[in-house]
Structure 1
Protein backbone atom coordinates (compact mmCIF):
# COMPACT_ATOMS: atom_id res chain seq x y z
CA UNK A 1 0.00 0.00 0.00
CA UNK A 2 1.36 3.41 -1.00
CA UNK A 3 0.83 6.28 1.44
CA UNK A 4 2.73 9.02 -0.43
CA UNK A 5 0.67 11.95 -1.65
CA UNK A 6 -1.27 11.10 -4.78
CA UNK A 7 -2.70 13.20 -7.58
CA UNK A 8 -6.16 12.75 -9.11
CA UNK A 9 -7.48 14.48 -12.22
CA UNK A 10 -11.28 14.58 -12.19
CA UNK A 11 -13.08 15.38 -15.44
CA UNK A 12 -16.71 16.21 -16.22
CA UNK A 13 -18.72 18.18 -18.74
CA UNK A 14 -19.71 20.65 -16.01
CA UNK A 15 -19.62 21.00 -12.26
CA UNK A 16 -21.60 17.84 -11.50
CA UNK A 17 -18.39 15.88 -10.93
CA UNK A 18 -17.68 18.09 -7.95
CA UNK A 19 -20.10 15.88 -6.05
CA UNK A 20 -17.62 13.06 -6.55
CA UNK A 21 -14.79 15.43 -5.59
CA UNK A 22 -16.63 16.05 -2.32
CA UNK A 23 -16.66 12.28 -1.73
CA UNK A 24 -12.95 12.12 -2.65
CA UNK A 25 -12.16 14.78 -0.04
CA UNK A 26 -13.93 12.64 2.56
CA UNK A 27 -12.30 9.39 1.42
CA UNK A 28 -8.69 10.11 0.42
CA UNK A 29 -5.74 11.20 2.58
CA UNK A 30 -5.76 14.94 3.21
CA UNK A 31 -2.53 15.47 1.26
CA UNK A 32 -4.04 14.10 -1.97
CA UNK A 33 -4.08 16.66 -4.78
CA UNK A 34 -7.34 16.71 -6.76
CA UNK A 35 -7.39 18.68 -10.00
CA UNK A 36 -10.66 19.33 -11.77
CA UNK A 37 -11.38 19.96 -15.44
CA UNK A 38 -14.89 20.87 -16.61
CA UNK A 39 -15.60 20.98 -20.33
CA UNK A 40 -18.42 23.46 -19.83
CA UNK A 41 -17.94 24.82 -23.34
CA UNK A 42 -19.82 21.75 -24.58
CA UNK A 43 -22.17 21.21 -21.63
CA UNK A 44 -24.30 19.12 -21.51
CA UNK A 45 -22.54 16.10 -22.97
CA UNK A 46 -25.77 14.12 -23.09
CA UNK A 47 -26.90 16.20 -26.05
CA UNK A 48 -23.74 15.73 -28.18
CA UNK A 49 -22.67 13.29 -30.90
CA UNK A 50 -20.60 10.34 -29.63
CA UNK A 51 -17.74 10.57 -32.16
CA UNK A 52 -17.33 14.27 -31.53
CA UNK A 53 -17.26 13.74 -27.78
CA UNK A 54 -14.70 10.93 -27.88
CA UNK A 55 -12.29 12.97 -29.99
CA UNK A 56 -12.74 16.02 -27.80
CA UNK A 57 -12.32 14.17 -24.49
CA UNK A 58 -9.13 12.48 -25.70
CA UNK A 59 -7.69 15.81 -26.88
CA UNK A 60 -8.50 17.62 -23.64
CA UNK A 61 -7.14 14.89 -21.41
CA UNK A 62 -4.05 14.36 -23.55
CA UNK A 63 -2.90 17.89 -22.72
CA UNK A 64 -3.84 17.75 -19.05
CA UNK A 65 -2.33 14.33 -18.35
CA UNK A 66 0.95 15.46 -19.88
CA UNK A 67 0.94 18.65 -17.82
CA UNK A 68 -0.36 17.44 -14.45
CA UNK A 69 0.91 13.83 -14.46
CA UNK A 70 -1.95 12.42 -12.37
CA UNK A 71 -1.76 9.00 -10.75
CA UNK A 72 -5.37 8.30 -11.74
CA UNK A 73 -7.93 10.04 -13.94
CA UNK A 74 -11.53 10.03 -12.76
CA UNK A 75 -14.12 10.41 -15.52
CA UNK A 76 -16.79 11.91 -13.27
CA UNK A 77 -19.40 11.92 -16.01
CA UNK A 78 -21.72 9.05 -16.91
CA UNK A 79 -22.01 10.02 -20.58
CA UNK A 80 -18.25 10.33 -21.03
CA UNK A 81 -17.65 7.07 -19.14
CA UNK A 82 -20.10 5.07 -21.24
CA UNK A 83 -18.56 6.15 -24.56
CA UNK A 84 -14.93 7.06 -23.90
CA UNK A 85 -13.42 4.85 -21.19
CA UNK A 86 -12.26 2.14 -23.58
CA UNK A 87 -10.62 4.59 -26.05
CA UNK A 88 -8.99 6.47 -23.16
CA UNK A 89 -7.56 3.32 -21.61
CA UNK A 90 -6.23 2.26 -25.01
CA UNK A 91 -4.57 5.66 -25.52
CA UNK A 92 -3.02 6.36 -22.11
CA UNK A 93 -1.04 4.35 -19.57
CA UNK A 94 -2.60 6.26 -16.66
CA UNK A 95 -5.32 4.34 -14.76
CA UNK A 96 -8.89 5.53 -15.35
CA UNK A 97 -11.91 5.23 -13.07
CA UNK A 98 -15.34 5.90 -14.54
CA UNK A 99 -18.86 6.58 -13.34
CA UNK A 100 -21.64 4.43 -14.73
CA UNK A 101 -25.31 4.16 -13.72
CA UNK A 102 -25.59 1.98 -10.57
CA UNK A 103 -27.64 -0.76 -12.20
CA UNK A 104 -25.92 -3.64 -10.41
CA UNK A 105 -26.33 -1.90 -7.07
CA UNK A 106 -30.01 -1.21 -7.76
CA UNK A 107 -30.62 -4.87 -8.59
CA UNK A 108 -29.10 -5.88 -5.26
CA UNK A 109 -31.20 -3.38 -3.30
CA UNK A 110 -34.61 -3.61 -4.99
CA UNK A 111 -37.14 -5.86 -3.30
CA UNK A 112 -39.93 -5.27 -5.81
CA UNK A 113 -37.53 -6.08 -8.70
CA UNK A 114 -38.58 -2.83 -10.35
CA UNK A 115 -36.09 0.02 -10.17
CA UNK A 116 -35.59 3.34 -11.87
CA UNK A 117 -32.57 5.05 -13.41
CA UNK A 118 -32.52 8.82 -13.64
CA UNK A 119 -30.02 9.84 -16.32
CA UNK A 120 -29.34 12.31 -19.10
CA UNK A 121 -30.99 11.74 -22.45
CA UNK A 122 -27.63 10.72 -23.92
CA UNK A 123 -26.97 8.04 -21.29
CA UNK A 124 -30.58 6.84 -21.47
CA UNK A 125 -30.49 6.20 -25.21
CA UNK A 126 -27.13 4.44 -25.42
CA UNK A 127 -26.98 0.61 -25.60
CA UNK A 128 -24.51 0.56 -22.70
CA UNK A 129 -27.29 1.07 -20.17
CA UNK A 130 -29.34 -1.87 -21.43
CA UNK A 131 -26.18 -3.97 -21.54
CA UNK A 132 -25.72 -3.27 -17.82
CA UNK A 133 -29.24 -4.47 -17.18
CA UNK A 134 -28.73 -7.65 -19.18
CA UNK A 135 -25.49 -8.38 -17.33
CA UNK A 136 -26.51 -7.50 -13.77
CA UNK A 137 -30.28 -7.05 -13.52
CA UNK A 138 -31.89 -9.39 -16.02
CA UNK A 139 -34.47 -10.46 -13.43
CA UNK A 140 -35.57 -6.84 -12.85
CA UNK A 141 -37.65 -4.33 -14.73
CA UNK A 142 -35.62 -1.18 -15.27
CA UNK A 143 -37.49 2.08 -15.93
CA UNK A 144 -35.27 4.80 -17.35
CA UNK A 145 -35.90 8.50 -17.66
CA UNK A 146 -33.49 10.64 -19.66
CA UNK A 147 -33.98 14.11 -18.26
CA UNK A 148 -32.80 17.14 -20.19
CA UNK A 149 -33.48 19.75 -17.49
CA UNK A 150 -32.07 18.14 -14.35
CA UNK A 151 -28.38 18.70 -15.07
CA UNK A 152 -29.03 22.43 -15.46
CA UNK A 153 -31.09 22.48 -12.27
CA UNK A 154 -28.33 20.65 -10.43
CA UNK A 155 -25.73 23.21 -11.48
CA UNK A 156 -27.99 25.96 -10.21
CA UNK A 157 -28.50 24.11 -6.93
CA UNK A 158 -24.73 23.75 -6.48
CA UNK A 159 -24.40 27.53 -6.85
CA UNK A 160 -26.94 28.02 -4.07
CA UNK A 161 -29.87 29.06 -6.24
CA UNK A 162 -33.40 28.10 -5.24
CA UNK A 163 -34.98 25.32 -7.32
CA UNK A 164 -38.76 25.08 -7.54
CA UNK A 165 -40.15 21.72 -6.46
CA UNK A 166 -42.46 21.70 -9.47
CA UNK A 167 -39.53 21.46 -11.88
CA UNK A 168 -38.20 18.37 -10.11
CA UNK A 169 -41.62 16.78 -9.67
CA UNK A 170 -42.18 17.08 -13.42
CA UNK A 171 -39.07 14.98 -14.09
CA UNK A 172 -39.80 12.43 -11.35
CA UNK A 173 -43.27 11.88 -12.80
CA UNK A 174 -41.66 10.31 -15.87
CA UNK A 175 -40.39 7.52 -13.61
CA UNK A 176 -43.19 6.99 -11.12
CA UNK A 177 -46.06 7.51 -13.59
CA UNK A 178 -44.62 5.11 -16.16
CA UNK A 179 -46.14 1.63 -16.54
CA UNK A 180 -45.09 -0.31 -13.40
CA UNK A 181 -43.71 2.94 -12.00
CA UNK A 182 -45.78 2.57 -8.86
CA UNK A 183 -43.66 -0.50 -8.02
CA UNK A 184 -40.32 1.34 -8.14
CA UNK A 185 -38.63 1.00 -4.77
CA UNK A 186 -35.09 2.00 -5.81
CA UNK A 187 -33.71 4.70 -8.09
CA UNK A 188 -30.12 4.95 -9.25
CA UNK A 189 -28.60 8.30 -10.17
CA UNK A 190 -27.16 8.01 -13.67
CA UNK A 191 -25.63 11.49 -13.81
CA UNK A 192 -23.07 12.88 -11.38
CA UNK A 193 -24.79 16.27 -11.46
CA UNK A 194 -27.82 14.80 -9.73
CA UNK A 195 -25.94 14.54 -6.42
CA UNK A 196 -26.83 18.18 -5.82
CA UNK A 197 -30.54 17.39 -6.10
CA UNK A 198 -30.47 14.25 -3.93
CA UNK A 199 -32.23 15.87 -0.97
CA UNK A 200 -35.07 17.08 -3.19
CA UNK A 201 -35.40 13.70 -4.88
CA UNK A 202 -35.78 11.94 -1.53
CA UNK A 203 -38.22 14.54 -0.23
CA UNK A 204 -40.43 14.64 -3.33
CA UNK A 205 -40.51 10.95 -4.28
CA UNK A 206 -42.90 8.34 -2.88
CA UNK A 207 -42.04 7.15 0.64
CA UNK A 208 -39.53 4.35 1.19
CA UNK A 209 -37.78 4.73 -2.17
CA UNK A 210 -34.03 4.09 -1.89
CA UNK A 211 -31.93 6.61 -3.82
CA UNK A 212 -28.51 5.34 -4.91
CA UNK A 213 -25.76 7.90 -5.47
CA UNK A 214 -22.55 6.25 -6.74
CA UNK A 215 -20.29 9.16 -5.68
CA UNK A 216 -18.94 7.40 -2.58
CA UNK A 217 -18.34 3.97 -4.21
CA UNK A 218 -16.51 5.72 -7.06
CA UNK A 219 -14.36 7.63 -4.57
CA UNK A 220 -13.55 4.37 -2.82
CA UNK A 221 -12.43 2.84 -6.12
CA UNK A 222 -10.13 5.83 -6.72
CA UNK A 223 -8.64 5.26 -3.27
CA UNK A 224 -7.94 1.61 -4.10
CA UNK A 225 -6.18 2.59 -7.32
CA UNK A 226 -4.04 5.15 -5.48
CA UNK A 227 -3.12 2.65 -2.80
CA UNK A 228 -1.85 0.19 -5.43
CA UNK A 229 0.07 2.66 -7.58
CA UNK A 230 3.88 2.96 -7.69
CA UNK A 231 5.36 5.77 -5.56
CA UNK A 232 5.17 9.18 -7.22
CA UNK A 233 8.42 10.56 -8.66
CA UNK A 234 7.46 14.16 -9.37
CA UNK A 235 7.25 17.51 -7.67
CA UNK A 236 3.72 18.35 -6.55
CA UNK A 237 2.19 21.51 -7.98
CA UNK A 238 -0.83 23.25 -6.49
CA UNK A 239 -4.31 21.91 -7.21
CA UNK A 240 -6.12 23.38 -10.18
CA UNK A 241 -9.73 23.77 -11.20
CA UNK A 242 -10.11 24.65 -14.87
CA UNK A 243 -13.03 25.28 -17.20
CA UNK A 244 -13.00 25.34 -20.99
CA UNK A 245 -15.26 28.43 -21.14
CA UNK A 246 -16.15 31.31 -18.80
CA UNK A 247 -18.99 30.40 -16.39
CA UNK A 248 -22.25 32.39 -16.42
CA UNK A 249 -21.77 33.47 -12.78
CA UNK A 250 -18.07 33.50 -11.93
CA UNK A 251 -18.53 35.01 -8.48
CA UNK A 252 -21.08 32.39 -7.38
CA UNK A 253 -18.93 29.57 -8.75
CA UNK A 254 -15.83 30.85 -6.96
CA UNK A 255 -17.76 30.86 -3.68
CA UNK A 256 -19.15 27.37 -4.24
CA UNK A 257 -15.86 25.70 -5.21
CA UNK A 258 -14.05 27.38 -2.33
CA UNK A 259 -16.05 25.10 -0.04
CA UNK A 260 -14.40 22.15 -1.80
CA UNK A 261 -10.89 23.50 -1.37
CA UNK A 262 -10.33 25.31 -4.68
CA UNK A 263 -9.06 28.84 -4.25
CA UNK A 264 -9.91 29.99 -7.74
CA UNK A 265 -11.30 28.88 -11.09
CA UNK A 266 -9.15 29.23 -14.19
CA UNK A 267 -10.20 29.23 -17.83
CA UNK A 268 -8.10 26.73 -19.76
CA UNK A 269 -5.89 28.46 -22.29
CA UNK A 270 -5.99 26.90 -25.74
CA UNK A 271 -8.93 24.61 -24.96
CA UNK A 272 -10.15 22.46 -27.84
CA UNK A 273 -12.59 24.38 -30.00
CA UNK A 274 -16.23 23.72 -29.15
CA UNK A 275 -17.25 24.17 -32.77
Structure 2
Protein backbone atom coordinates (compact mmCIF):
# COMPACT_ATOMS: atom_id res chain seq x y z
CA UNK A 1 0.00 0.00 0.00
CA UNK A 2 1.39 3.43 -0.84
CA UNK A 3 2.13 5.86 1.93
CA UNK A 4 -0.52 8.23 0.58
CA UNK A 5 -3.17 5.72 1.66
CA UNK A 6 -1.73 5.14 5.12
CA UNK A 7 -4.04 6.67 7.70
CA UNK A 8 -2.47 9.30 9.96
CA UNK A 9 -1.58 8.39 13.55
CA UNK A 10 -4.32 8.93 16.13
CA UNK A 11 -3.81 10.49 19.57
CA UNK A 12 -6.52 10.34 22.22
CA UNK A 13 -6.43 13.03 24.92
CA UNK A 14 -8.42 11.98 27.96
CA UNK A 15 -9.78 14.07 30.85
CA UNK A 16 -12.81 14.31 33.11
CA UNK A 17 -13.65 17.87 32.11
CA UNK A 18 -12.48 20.02 29.21
CA UNK A 19 -9.02 20.88 30.52
CA UNK A 20 -7.49 18.38 28.12
CA UNK A 21 -8.42 20.75 25.30
CA UNK A 22 -5.34 22.79 26.21
CA UNK A 23 -3.30 19.67 25.35
CA UNK A 24 -5.27 19.24 22.11
CA UNK A 25 -4.30 22.81 21.19
CA UNK A 26 -0.59 22.06 21.65
CA UNK A 27 -0.92 18.82 19.66
CA UNK A 28 -2.58 20.75 16.83
CA UNK A 29 0.25 23.29 16.91
CA UNK A 30 3.17 20.82 17.01
CA UNK A 31 1.65 17.76 15.28
CA UNK A 32 -0.90 19.06 12.74
CA UNK A 33 -0.68 15.82 10.74
CA UNK A 34 -2.11 13.72 13.58
CA UNK A 35 -5.78 12.82 13.95
CA UNK A 36 -7.06 14.09 17.31
CA UNK A 37 -9.60 12.45 19.59
CA UNK A 38 -10.67 14.32 22.72
CA UNK A 39 -12.35 12.04 25.27
CA UNK A 40 -14.10 13.57 28.29
CA UNK A 41 -15.43 11.47 31.14
CA UNK A 42 -17.90 14.23 31.97
CA UNK A 43 -20.16 11.74 33.77
CA UNK A 44 -17.53 11.56 36.54
CA UNK A 45 -16.36 15.21 36.52
CA UNK A 46 -14.45 16.34 38.57
CA UNK A 47 -11.83 13.67 39.27
CA UNK A 48 -10.20 15.68 42.05
CA UNK A 49 -12.98 14.81 44.51
CA UNK A 50 -12.67 11.03 43.99
CA UNK A 51 -10.79 8.58 46.21
CA UNK A 52 -7.73 6.84 44.78
CA UNK A 53 -9.25 3.33 44.46
CA UNK A 54 -12.50 4.68 42.98
CA UNK A 55 -10.65 6.85 40.47
CA UNK A 56 -8.27 4.10 39.31
CA UNK A 57 -11.20 1.75 38.74
CA UNK A 58 -13.17 4.40 36.89
CA UNK A 59 -10.33 5.39 34.57
CA UNK A 60 -9.60 1.76 33.72
CA UNK A 61 -13.23 1.13 32.73
CA UNK A 62 -13.86 4.36 30.84
CA UNK A 63 -10.58 4.29 28.89
CA UNK A 64 -11.36 0.79 27.65
CA UNK A 65 -14.78 2.07 26.55
CA UNK A 66 -13.38 5.13 24.78
CA UNK A 67 -10.68 3.13 22.97
CA UNK A 68 -13.25 0.61 21.74
CA UNK A 69 -15.09 3.50 20.07
CA UNK A 70 -12.00 5.37 18.89
CA UNK A 71 -8.81 3.25 18.78
CA UNK A 72 -5.64 5.32 19.12
CA UNK A 73 -1.88 4.94 18.81
CA UNK A 74 -1.11 7.05 21.90
CA UNK A 75 -3.18 8.09 24.91
CA UNK A 76 -2.54 11.29 26.85
CA UNK A 77 -4.07 11.39 30.33
CA UNK A 78 -4.73 15.13 30.34
CA UNK A 79 -5.41 15.44 34.06
CA UNK A 80 -2.85 15.87 36.84
CA UNK A 81 -4.99 14.04 39.41
CA UNK A 82 -5.55 11.03 37.16
CA UNK A 83 -1.89 10.96 36.09
CA UNK A 84 -0.45 11.02 39.58
CA UNK A 85 -2.83 8.35 40.89
CA UNK A 86 -3.71 6.01 38.05
CA UNK A 87 -0.84 5.89 35.53
CA UNK A 88 0.89 2.71 36.80
CA UNK A 89 -2.36 0.76 36.75
CA UNK A 90 -3.57 1.89 33.35
CA UNK A 91 -0.13 1.38 31.77
CA UNK A 92 -0.45 -2.24 32.87
CA UNK A 93 -3.88 -2.51 31.24
CA UNK A 94 -3.08 -1.16 27.76
CA UNK A 95 -0.47 -2.08 25.19
CA UNK A 96 -0.16 1.41 23.68
CA UNK A 97 1.99 4.26 25.03
CA UNK A 98 0.29 6.36 27.69
CA UNK A 99 1.58 9.85 28.50
CA UNK A 100 0.79 11.41 31.86
CA UNK A 101 0.66 15.06 32.87
CA UNK A 102 2.64 16.32 35.85
CA UNK A 103 3.13 19.87 37.17
CA UNK A 104 5.89 21.57 35.16
CA UNK A 105 8.02 22.30 38.22
CA UNK A 106 11.32 21.17 36.67
CA UNK A 107 11.24 23.61 33.70
CA UNK A 108 9.95 26.37 35.98
CA UNK A 109 12.91 25.96 38.33
CA UNK A 110 15.26 26.18 35.34
CA UNK A 111 13.47 29.25 33.94
CA UNK A 112 13.21 31.29 37.15
CA UNK A 113 15.81 34.04 37.56
CA UNK A 114 14.79 34.99 41.10
CA UNK A 115 14.27 31.35 42.13
CA UNK A 116 10.76 32.14 43.33
CA UNK A 117 8.10 29.99 41.66
CA UNK A 118 4.33 29.92 41.97
CA UNK A 119 2.39 26.70 41.38
CA UNK A 120 -1.28 27.21 40.58
CA UNK A 121 -3.10 23.87 40.79
CA UNK A 122 -6.25 22.21 42.04
CA UNK A 123 -6.42 21.69 45.83
CA UNK A 124 -5.96 17.94 45.27
CA UNK A 125 -2.73 18.44 43.30
CA UNK A 126 -1.39 20.91 45.88
CA UNK A 127 -1.90 18.33 48.62
CA UNK A 128 -0.49 15.29 46.79
CA UNK A 129 2.86 13.98 48.07
CA UNK A 130 3.75 13.60 44.38
CA UNK A 131 3.84 17.40 43.99
CA UNK A 132 6.09 17.78 47.03
CA UNK A 133 8.38 15.09 45.63
CA UNK A 134 8.71 17.05 42.37
CA UNK A 135 9.60 20.19 44.33
CA UNK A 136 12.23 18.37 46.39
CA UNK A 137 13.74 16.71 43.33
CA UNK A 138 13.72 19.54 40.81
CA UNK A 139 13.31 22.85 42.68
CA UNK A 140 15.99 22.73 45.35
CA UNK A 141 17.24 26.23 45.96
CA UNK A 142 13.90 27.71 44.89
CA UNK A 143 11.11 29.12 46.96
CA UNK A 144 7.91 27.45 45.77
CA UNK A 145 4.55 29.02 46.62
CA UNK A 146 1.60 26.66 46.18
CA UNK A 147 -1.92 27.92 45.54
CA UNK A 148 -4.92 25.61 45.09
CA UNK A 149 -8.11 26.64 43.31
CA UNK A 150 -11.17 24.63 42.31
CA UNK A 151 -12.91 27.79 41.12
CA UNK A 152 -10.49 28.21 38.20
CA UNK A 153 -11.53 24.79 36.87
CA UNK A 154 -15.19 25.86 36.79
CA UNK A 155 -14.32 29.26 35.29
CA UNK A 156 -12.39 27.56 32.47
CA UNK A 157 -15.37 25.30 31.79
CA UNK A 158 -17.67 28.34 31.81
CA UNK A 159 -15.41 30.23 29.37
CA UNK A 160 -15.54 27.38 26.88
CA UNK A 161 -19.33 27.43 27.09
CA UNK A 162 -19.36 31.05 26.01
CA UNK A 163 -19.23 32.96 29.30
CA UNK A 164 -16.98 36.02 29.52
CA UNK A 165 -14.56 35.72 32.46
CA UNK A 166 -13.45 39.13 33.71
CA UNK A 167 -9.87 39.24 35.06
CA UNK A 168 -11.18 40.79 38.30
CA UNK A 169 -12.67 37.39 39.14
CA UNK A 170 -9.17 35.89 39.03
CA UNK A 171 -7.30 38.52 41.07
CA UNK A 172 -8.35 37.12 44.49
CA UNK A 173 -7.24 33.64 43.38
CA UNK A 174 -3.81 34.88 42.30
CA UNK A 175 -3.30 37.34 45.17
CA UNK A 176 -1.80 34.86 47.71
CA UNK A 177 0.97 34.03 45.24
CA UNK A 178 2.10 37.66 45.12
CA UNK A 179 1.55 38.70 48.74
CA UNK A 180 4.89 37.41 50.02
CA UNK A 181 6.69 39.88 52.25
CA UNK A 182 10.44 40.38 51.99
CA UNK A 183 12.67 38.70 49.45
CA UNK A 184 12.88 38.36 45.68
CA UNK A 185 9.71 38.63 43.60
CA UNK A 186 7.93 35.63 42.16
CA UNK A 187 8.88 35.57 38.47
CA UNK A 188 7.63 32.20 37.19
CA UNK A 189 4.17 30.68 37.47
CA UNK A 190 3.30 27.05 36.76
CA UNK A 191 -0.20 26.28 35.49
CA UNK A 192 -0.42 22.82 37.06
CA UNK A 193 -3.90 21.92 35.83
CA UNK A 194 -4.74 21.45 32.15
CA UNK A 195 -7.84 23.64 32.60
CA UNK A 196 -5.78 26.67 33.56
CA UNK A 197 -4.05 27.44 30.20
CA UNK A 198 -7.55 27.90 28.79
CA UNK A 199 -7.71 31.04 30.98
CA UNK A 200 -4.19 32.24 30.24
CA UNK A 201 -5.20 35.58 28.69
CA UNK A 202 -7.41 36.41 31.69
CA UNK A 203 -4.72 35.27 34.15
CA UNK A 204 -2.12 37.48 32.47
CA UNK A 205 -4.49 40.46 32.77
CA UNK A 206 -5.13 39.66 36.45
CA UNK A 207 -1.43 39.52 37.41
CA UNK A 208 0.03 42.52 39.23
CA UNK A 209 3.16 42.38 37.04
CA UNK A 210 4.48 40.22 34.15
CA UNK A 211 5.71 36.71 34.95
CA UNK A 212 6.89 33.70 32.95
CA UNK A 213 4.01 31.23 32.45
CA UNK A 214 4.81 27.54 32.16
CA UNK A 215 2.53 24.56 31.58
CA UNK A 216 2.99 20.97 30.41
CA UNK A 217 1.34 21.20 26.98
CA UNK A 218 4.39 21.74 24.79
CA UNK A 219 6.43 19.06 26.59
CA UNK A 220 3.58 16.58 26.13
CA UNK A 221 3.41 17.33 22.40
CA UNK A 222 7.18 16.77 22.10
CA UNK A 223 6.86 13.48 24.00
CA UNK A 224 4.05 12.37 21.68
CA UNK A 225 6.18 13.20 18.62
CA UNK A 226 9.02 11.09 20.03
CA UNK A 227 6.73 8.12 20.75
CA UNK A 228 5.25 8.27 17.25
CA UNK A 229 8.78 8.15 15.87
CA UNK A 230 9.59 5.15 18.10
CA UNK A 231 6.55 3.36 16.66
CA UNK A 232 7.57 4.39 13.13
CA UNK A 233 4.29 6.25 12.73
CA UNK A 234 4.51 9.30 10.48
CA UNK A 235 2.09 12.23 10.78
CA UNK A 236 0.38 13.26 7.56
CA UNK A 237 2.19 15.84 5.42
CA UNK A 238 -0.83 18.13 5.62
CA UNK A 239 -3.03 19.19 8.52
CA UNK A 240 -5.56 16.50 9.39
CA UNK A 241 -9.24 17.28 9.06
CA UNK A 242 -11.79 17.41 11.81
CA UNK A 243 -11.21 15.48 15.00
CA UNK A 244 -13.64 13.72 17.30
CA UNK A 245 -14.92 14.71 20.76
CA UNK A 246 -16.17 11.79 22.88
CA UNK A 247 -18.23 12.21 26.04
CA UNK A 248 -19.30 9.61 28.60
CA UNK A 249 -22.64 11.35 29.19
CA UNK A 250 -24.95 13.31 26.93
CA UNK A 251 -26.09 16.57 28.53
CA UNK A 252 -27.39 19.99 27.39
CA UNK A 253 -24.16 21.81 28.25
CA UNK A 254 -22.35 20.00 25.42
CA UNK A 255 -24.43 22.03 22.95
CA UNK A 256 -22.90 25.16 24.50
CA UNK A 257 -19.45 23.62 24.02
CA UNK A 258 -19.80 23.01 20.29
CA UNK A 259 -18.37 26.37 19.10
CA UNK A 260 -15.31 25.92 21.34
CA UNK A 261 -14.84 22.32 20.21
CA UNK A 262 -14.89 23.49 16.59
CA UNK A 263 -12.17 26.03 17.45
CA UNK A 264 -10.00 23.07 18.55
CA UNK A 265 -10.73 21.25 15.28
CA UNK A 266 -13.23 18.84 16.86
CA UNK A 267 -16.22 18.82 14.53
CA UNK A 268 -17.71 15.40 15.38
CA UNK A 269 -19.31 14.62 18.75
CA UNK A 270 -19.96 11.06 19.94
CA UNK A 271 -21.12 9.49 23.20
CA UNK A 272 -19.87 6.31 24.81
TM-score, normalised by the number of residues in structure 2: 0.89
Runs of 5+ consecutive residues of structure 2 not aligned to the other structure? 235-241
8 Å contact from structure 2 (residues 116, 187) kept in 1? yes
User: In structure 2, what is the Cα distance between the partners aligned to 1:181 and 1:22?
Assistant: 37
Secondary structure of 2:163's counterpart equals coil
May I ask how many residue pairs the two structures share in their alignment?
Answer: 261
Moved more, 39-48 or 107-116: 39-48
8 Å contact from structure 2 (residues 166, 202) kept in 1? no
Kindly report which structure 2 residues correspond to 1:65-214, keeping only aligned pairs within 5 A, or say none.
Answer: 65-178=67-180, 183-214=185-216
User: In structure 2, what is the Cα distance between the partners aligned to 1:267 and 1:104?
Assistant: 37
Choose which of 7, 22, 39 in structure 1 pairs with 2:25.
22
TM-score, normalised by the number of residues in structure 1: 0.88
8 Å contact from structure 1 (residues 176, 182) kept in 2? no
Q: For residues 129-177 of structure 1, give each alpha carbon's deviation from its aligned partner in whole angstroms, at most 9, with x where no partner exists.
A: 0000111112111111110100010111223311132321111012222
User: In structure 1, what is the Cα distance between the partners aligned to 2:175 and 2:49?
Assistant: 21
User: In structure 2, what is the Cα distance between the partners aligned to 1:199 and 1:60?
Assistant: 32
User: In structure 2, what is the Cα distance between the partners aligned to 1:190 and 1:55?
Assistant: 24
Q: Which residue pairs with 1:266 in the alignment?
A: 270
User: In structure 1, what is the Cα distance between the partners aligned to 2:49 and 2:146?
Assistant: 17
**Shift of the alpha carbon at 1:66?**
4.0
Moved more, 51-60 or 199-208: 199-208
Runs of 5+ consecutive residues of structure 1 not aligned to the other structure? 233-237, 269-275
Determine whether 1:246 maps to 2:246: no
Q: Aligned-pair RMSD on alpha carbons?
A: 2.2
